Amino acid sequence: MFQTILFPIDQSREAFETASKAIELAKSHQGRIIMLSVIQPERPEMHDAAVISTLLKTAQSKVEAAGIACDVLEKQGKSAFVICDVADDLNVDVIVMGTRGVNLEEENESTASRVIQLAPCPVLIVP
C-alpha cells in the first residue's frame, strides 16, 4: 500500500526524529523512502549547505542501516509547494513529516499544515 514514502527533512531535530516513523512504515510495507530537502532561496539563513549535506547523509545512513532503499533529492522553492509537487511527480503513496520544523510559509502557516491542504496523497504527520 505504501511502497513509496516521501520524507521531507529539514535542519530541525524533530524532522530527524521523524525518520524512525518513516522507516517503520517502509519496513511494514516493504517500501522505499525518498528523502527531500527543500532550500528556500529567499531564506538563506535557514540553509547551511554543509549542515544540510551532513543531515541528509546521516538520515540516509539511518534508513539504509534499517535495510530500506533510500533516494535523496534536493530542490529549491517554497517548502509545501515543492513537497507536494515532488509527491505528485514521483507518484508517492504517502508523505511522512513532522509537525514542527524550521520552515514556515509567508503567512506563518506551518509547512505541515500547508502540505495537508495541497498533497496529492495521504500525509502522515508525526508529532
> Domain holding 37: CATH number?
3.40.50.620
Number of structural domains, the chain? 1
- Measure the CA angle with vertex 23, ends 39 and 41; round to 5°: 0
CB 28 within 8 A of CB 5: no
* Residue 83: per-residue pLDDT: 96
Residue labelled with grid coordinates 530500506: 68
**Once rounded to an integer, what is the mean pLDDT over residues 81-102?**
89
- Averaged pLDDT of the chain: 85
Residue of 11, 15, 89, 74 lying closest to 39 (CA atoms): 74
Residues 43-62 have pLDDT tens digits of: 665 566 777 778 888 888 98
Domain enclosing residue 46, as ranges: 4-126
Please indicate, yes or no, whether the overall pTM of this predicted structure exceeds 0.75: yes
